Structure 1
């Protein structure tokens, strides 16, 4: 009892051995003494004796007896030999059993390519085009024969009988649709070059609208190449030219209006005059509303390219505003002429109405709605029709929504467990590149689900190396010193990177959140615009922004690392359509997870059509290739030696992620963004794509993460790591935000960036899944990106960990 009193009154006196073993006094006093002893012993654990406190348990090594050492040595020994907290799981264990069929490569067929130029005697001059245009295509652009869609569209648009009708153009991807609407426009405007009063000040006579900046830039490049044509025949010199022949002036100038450009520079060019303009919808509407010098009163042509993509991106209201702006500017110009207030010299055919061409791969309901607004008395033109012109109203309800890829395209898929996704992608790229070593300039496109995933894989390939000495996890102090050369120079501002796993290959990236100069530089570098890169091989990591309309040369293969989340089979066909263009061959590979096996039959049925009767559509199929053969061909070795090499590649990626906090943050952000994108599959595909079907731990392994999904679900720093903040006395306690709300708001702002995410926010807001509080969009209890039902992503991640 006396000892207990001494222990409570004199805290400076250390506990004695007798005090801990004493059993006298009341049990409450003994309990209180033990608590005080425990508090005093906690900050001075290094000064305690082995008799005072019970040592911590540790696993005893085999053949080793625990010697009696000093207390400090015992603590240090326990800390040093403690087993690691991270568990590095094997790539080839605990994977789901895949009953994949035996490798069945597609049989070699000698079908005629469905999008190749015609082999008959038809020529561009025979289609009714001006001789100057035909000779320029043959001599300068090496285009001798038209494709099927060009032979169907050009006569239908240029004939005098159809000048009062708009045109709906439906064609297969890679069939030369761009020239089918550019050539009639130049053919119509070229005779105006003989009029003396025609120059650039006439204003804009033709407008071409494209959904993305990359497609608009590509159309502008083709247009500029066409406008370099000679204004007299090749075999006719100025001295021999007939005096009665009209003298043509060079006034046709093209311009490009896209978001991200300098508006002042664009206004200066519009003030001088741009007869032909290629633009994206948002920037065009901006100039129509805010640029007074934009003269479009005499506009004669309007082209809506990739109309289905325009509707998918939500440009319906923008296009409606453009149509109203063009009509309003025309009415104002006509009123000025009728009132005699116009200062223009020469006459103009105001009776001729503006013609609109709408190009789309499919005739969906939203495309028909746009056609009803933009087209007047339309006719439909298809390359497969014997009679190219048909009434749109007759075919809109009878045509099926199927959209087939080129017949010469080889389509394959690989069933890959989630753990092996990353190494399977590297092996597939290595195999495709090794098969094309004899042909320089091979291009491969890899489609991913979101912008964060593109940035992560691009940085991972550019930063990771196979040497373990450069990829070991470093401390925070060592990783920020910048001693190593690769880490001292960040790669975020670079256009391309190199990877030791893909030797002599330039790796580019492309998505909607990149700055416009970087996007254009990546596109030029991948396509090989300059002579220094035209013969080099390259890989492009991109989102669906590159799936529409881009004509990239020498694309040997398209790899769909992530299957399309929107657009279904149509988006799949658009993606694979980046290869096998203009009659050339190509390969399309799809990485399919074990839970997504039904997608193969589903997409085959969509491409064949429900009531397909022709034999060609019945032959559309995806051949299966086993993941073992992909890994064996990519990493080499005898027997199962490829497993060890694939493991080394995976470990090198994981060491890169652990090397710096920025790398780990990039991997976590890509993982979370991929999960959000996966949750946006439409309801009709939820039986195939659902987050509940995924093993989240294995999926984290494909992002080179060793942590469990529960640990990576919180990308923002924890609340206890932040210094405490003083509460404001001016606000009542009920109005103060709780730490959980502040943390959720910070996570929301960190993970919701980019153009695609902003569009997705608008869709979800329109469906009433979010509420607005204080000007900030807050969650309402479900995942803000899971449009079609289901539990919240964070709850799911915690439940499946």
Structure 2
């Protein structure tokens, strides 16, 4: 008797029957072997049903949520502040901003007075200018005029290369009237020799990722911090999340060993306990600025309590952000995402979508399959871009620039794009794989509805993951449900993926549902045909599946009851990567043989082996 593995449901009788060995019919003919893909009469491969043997979609609970409101704009203007007139003119004409946001109104006077500060404000509220303007104002006002030979006077640490480049460009614009103050950026992926040359010439406002700055501290003799007056840690919680705590220690030790007393600023959309500890180490009697609450000189004040087990942290999101969730069985996930993209990018105008997924391999897989299947079938072709930590830096920079200036299109990315980046006019954020924490959800959706603009977000969950909506509600985040059928119905607008054509718009709702499902199956067949068209495409899909399974094991302990590897049906999950069957030997260079979904213990054993292989690539 086969041993049943706890937590893995036995396959339905119909599925078990599919796995029986070929049998003889009474007339001596052999039964069809369903373990191999069947051939249709037209020579194509038959796709197993997307809509059979799926778990029921449960009713979503809608807990009552009192969302924390944060007013973005004030009635004040930069001209009301005690700033250099040329700086005000640059803000108005070059950066095209005149009205001060709430975080800027509260933060700038504190920083201009010389105080250290911890700043918490929702993403997209203008935190970069909240510290950049005071830095430029103070440096241009120094009695002894700044020169390149002074070296770094302000050091700005950010977690990712894209944010480093964006912050550097902001300083470049602000410094147009003050050409004697020189900004510079250091980040991974750039040539160290060129960076050393720039450091040798002199950089006054130094923007850097933590790892690259530590590299120069250890290996570049010309770098010196004897004149540093400002230290800014932007997206401080993300810096810690990415494992840069040791690098920050090296940086702080270098800064503390020499130089005058300096002003320190920590900024983030969320204040984790790690950030609070970091503030204790590197800030001196800071003012805590919480835009959704009063400013405080007490870092432990309730307004900025990062939350505890009894009272989770409440996050602030833009009022103009509409948040949705769709519950999708694993087998239908790929088709559902494709249908949503078609709806927003083909049948609507001027939509810019960012799709977050869990790994670099998944981004590459989605980019390849959507470019091949969705883009080539559309006129004009849909634009798909990708961004992740395994790309060359010049490619990442080019994608960032291209998506920033485009009017429409889809950016497929990892969480490398989740923090601080300002990508103009993004209308939809799609979280194809769920975030590992409520705070990460906040940062992802923060790429839209920025600086008072409007935007929407859509979170994909499987039926087994729906309790995550309650977890978000505990942090005062409320979602509205979007129905799977409504998303798939957009395929009825596209004759590219029509089914057998037996049903028409005047038909019954049952018939329309049937044709929608047929069109979804046609689209899934195209995806599977692409994946199985050559060895490389098949191997890429298997790598993406493997990385997804690996990432699924990394959810923190408090969320394991929602996201646990034992809840995944490996065969159904494989379908969402265009694979016809749950594969074996994903780590082998050429992949393993495909087979029908195994018995529960076989699935569990393969799952365990897959998830023990390797780690994800760094995203910096």
TM-score bucket (shorter structure): 0.7 to 0.9
Distance 1:141 1:61, change over 3 A: farther
**Corresponding position: 1:407 with 2:319:** yes
Quick one: which of 24, 27, 51 aligns to 1:92? 51
Q: What is the Cα deviation at residue 751 of structure 1?
A: 5.2
**Corresponding position: 1:562 with 2:433:** yes
**Corresponding position: 1:127 with 2:75:** no
**Corresponding position: 1:551 with 2:408:** no
Find the residue that maps to 2:221 and give its secondary structure: coil
Query: How many Å separate the matches in 2 of 1:413 and 1:748?
Result: 27
Query: How many Å separate the matches in 1 of 2:263 and 2:34?
Result: 75
Q: What is the Cα deviation at residue 512 of structure 1?
A: 1.2
Query: How many Å separate the matches in 1 of 2:306 and 2:531?
Result: 51
Find the residue that maps to 2:434 and give its secondary structure: coil
Q: What is the Cα deviation at residue 202 of structure 1?
A: 1.5
Unaligned 5+ segments in structure 1 are 1-56, 67-77, 232-249, 331-349, 466-497, 529-533, 609-619, 721-745, 760-801
The Cα offsets for residues 377-419 of structure 1, whole Å up to 9 and x where unpaired, read as 1111122345x34322434775642212212210111111111
Query: How many Å separate the matches in 2 of 1:718 and 1:307?
Result: 41
Quick one: which of 577, 586, 595 aligns to 1:703? 577
Q: Which moved more, 1:395-404 or 1:215-224?
A: 395-404
Query: Which residue does the alignment assign to 1:575?
Result: 444
Contact 1:414 1:624 in 2 (8 A): yes
Query: How many Å separate the matches in 1 of 2:34 and 2:438?
Result: 50
Distance 1:749 1:680, change over 3 A: closer
Query: How many Å separate the matches in 2 of 1:514 and 1:291?
Result: 26
Equivalent positions of 1:277-316 (< 5 A) are: 277-316=206-245
**Corresponding position: 1:141 with 2:141:** no
Find the residue that maps to 2:358 and give its secondary structure: coil
Q: What is the Cα deviation at residue 455 of structure 1?
A: 0.9
Quick one: which of 653, 667, 684 aligns to 2:541? 667
Query: Which residue does the alignment assign to 1:150?
Result: 104
The Cα offsets for residues 188-242 of structure 1, whole Å up to 9 and x where unpaired, read as 01123x746x42112110110000111111111111111113x6xxxxxxxxxxx
Q: What is the Cα deviation at residue 100 of structure 1?
A: 3.6
Distance 1:589 1:83, change over 3 A: closer
Query: How many Å separate the matches in 2 of 1:296 and 1:99?
Result: 58
The Cα offsets for residues 350-374 of structure 1, whole Å up to 9 and x where unpaired, read as 5xx1111111222322111111111
Find the residue that maps to 1:390 and give its secondary structure: coil
Query: How many Å separate the matches in 2 of 1:315 and 1:112?
Result: 30
**RMSD of Structure 2 on Structure 1 (CA):** 3.2
Quick one: which of 301, 307, 311 aligns to 1:394? 301
Query: Which residue does the alignment assign to 1:448?
Result: 357
Query: How many Å separate the matches in 1 of 2:305 and 2:466?
Result: 31
Contact 1:429 1:634 in 2 (8 A): no
Find the residue that maps to 1:587 and give its secondary structure: strand
Contact 2:423 2:447 in 1 (8 A): yes
**Corresponding position: 1:251 with 2:180:** yes
Quick one: which of 476, 479, 488 aligns to 1:622? 479
Query: How many Å separate the matches in 2 of 1:314 and 1:751?
Result: 18
Query: How many Å separate the matches in 2 of 1:718 and 1:177?
Result: 47
Distance 1:550 1:275, change over 3 A: same
Quick one: which of 355, 370, 387 aligns to 2:263? 355
The Cα offsets for residues 581-636 of structure 1, whole Å up to 9 and x where unpaired, read as 11111111011101011111221122x2xxxxxxxxxxx52111211111002443
Distance 1:265 1:366, change over 3 A: same
Q: What is the Cα deviation at residue 664 of structure 1?
A: 0.6
Contact 2:367 2:386 in 1 (8 A): yes
**Corresponding position: 1:500 with 2:385:** no
Find the residue that maps to 2:228 and give its secondary structure: coil
Unaligned 5+ segments in structure 2 are 1-21, 39-46, 308-312, 494-503, 506-511, 594-608
Query: Which residue does the alignment assign to 1:213?
Result: 161
Contact 2:362 2:548 in 1 (8 A): yes
- TM, length-normalised to structure 2: 0.83
Query: Which residue does the alignment assign to 1:226?
Result: 174
Structure with bigger gyration radius:
1
Contact 1:100 1:415 in 2 (8 A): no
Contact 2:339 2:488 in 1 (8 A): yes
Equivalent positions of 1:518-667 (< 5 A) are: 518-528=395-405, 534-535=406-407, 537-564=408-435, 566=436, 568-606=437-475, 608=476, 620-636=477-493, 638=505, 639-640=512-513, 641-667=515-541
Query: How many Å separate the matches in 2 of 1:622 and 1:314?
Result: 31
Query: How many Å separate the matches in 2 of 1:601 and 1:622?
Result: 10
Query: How many Å separate the matches in 2 of 1:308 and 1:368?
Result: 9
Query: Which residue does the alignment assign to 2:391?
Result: 514
Query: How many Å separate the matches in 2 of 1:660 and 1:750?
Result: 24
Query: How many Å separate the matches in 2 of 1:257 and 1:668?
Result: 36
Query: How many Å separate the matches in 2 of 1:323 and 1:112?
Result: 34
Contact 2:326 2:484 in 1 (8 A): yes
Q: What is the Cα deviation at residue 502 of structure 1?
A: 8.3
Q: What is the Cα deviation at residue 504 of structure 1?
A: 3.6
Contact 1:305 1:359 in 2 (8 A): yes
**Corresponding position: 1:683 with 2:557:** yes
Q: What is the Cα deviation at residue 321 of structure 1?
A: 0.6
Find the residue that maps to 2:362 and give its secondary structure: helix
Query: Which residue does the alignment assign to 2:568?
Result: 694
Quick one: which of 279, 289, 314 aligns to 1:371? 279
Contact 2:199 2:223 in 1 (8 A): yes
Query: How many Å separate the matches in 1 of 2:610 and 2:543?
Result: 10
Distance 1:138 1:115, change over 3 A: same
Q: What is the Cα deviation at residue 670 of structure 1?
A: 0.8
Q: What is the Cα deviation at residue 436 of structure 1?
A: 3.6
Count of paired positions: 554
Query: Which residue does the alignment assign to 1:235?
Result: none
Query: How many Å separate the matches in 2 of 1:376 and 1:563?
Result: 38
Query: How many Å separate the matches in 1 of 2:615 and 2:290?
Result: 41
Query: How many Å separate the matches in 2 of 1:313 and 1:59?
Result: 59
Greater RCO structure (CA 8 Å; 6+ sep):
2
**Corresponding position: 1:200 with 2:74:** no
Find the residue that maps to 2:474 and give its secondary structure: helix
Query: Which residue does the alignment assign to 2:15?
Result: none
Distance 1:101 1:632, change over 3 A: farther
Query: Which residue does the alignment assign to 2:16?
Result: none
Query: Which residue does the alignment assign to 1:3?
Result: none
Distance 1:112 1:130, change over 3 A: farther
